[in-house]
Amino acid sequence: MLFSGSLFMTSGSAQAATVTTSASSKANAVIATGKRYMGVPYKFGAKTGNTSSFDCSSFTQFIYRQNGVSIPRTSRQQSKVGTFVPRSQLKPGDLVFFYSPVHHVAVYIGDGKILHTYGKGGVKISNLNSGWWSDHYNSARRVL
């Protein structure tokens, strides 16, 4: 009986590790896709699927969709999908939201950095943990 329990635990642990690895791999793929568009101009209301310009939510929707994950179009809609994540538990691939009410979204890429697009310079990486982005942080959601 103890032997069977050990096999069950090992099997369950292996399954949990596979799920974690899968989410981590998917997050890495989403981030890599986003980084390919560094510098692409920001344009409010950019059409979904357009890669010559993005707004914040068309960017996140596009890079997730390129990796098989469907999320809504607007930042406010995106802030309601997946599961809530406390700021202290952010993982790469989490969606991070700003302002109240929400009207900006970014992708957490690890080490206190976010990948997003806004204003001059378009798609870029910014520091979440200092200055403006830290002050205007609202919430985060895990969709992977």
pLDDT tens track, the chain, 144 positions: 343 443 444 444 444 445 566 889 999 999 999 999 999 999 999 998 899 999 999 999 999 999 999 999 999 999 999 999 999 999 999 999 999 999 999 999 999 999 999 999 999 999 999 899 999 999 999 999
Question: Domain 2-142 is in which class?
Answer: alpha beta
Q: Which residues pair with 116 in a beta bridge?
A: 124
pLDDT at 22: 86
Separation of alpha carbons 52 and 73, rounded Å: 17
Cα gap 56→123, rounded to integer Å: 9
Q: Is 103 assigned a catalytic role?
A: no
Active site (annotated) includes residue 114:
no
Strand bridging mode 104-110 / 123-127: unpaired
| Residues in the chain, overall count | 144
Catalytic position from the list 69, 96, 109, 116: 116
The pLDDT score that the predictor gives to residue 20 is: 62
Q: CA angle 139-74-66, nearest 5°?
A: 95
Tokens coding 127 = 């520091």
pLDDT of residue 137: 98
Question: Nearest CA to 107 among 68, 140, 73, 71?
Answer: 140
In the prediction, which pLDDT does 59 show?
A: 98
Options 56, 102, 107, 115, the catalytic residue: 56
Q: What is the pLDDT of residue 60?
A: 98
Of the candidates 26, 104, 141, 142, the residue annotated as catalytic is 104
Establish whether 73 is a catalytic residue: no
Q: Which two tokens stand for residue 3?
A: 């032997």
Beta carbons of 133 and 114 less than 8 angstroms apart: yes
Question: What is the 8-class DSSP label of residue 140?
Answer: E
Dig out the tokens for 71 from the structure.
């999320």
The pLDDT of residue 19 is 54
Q: Where are the domains of the chain?
A: 2-142
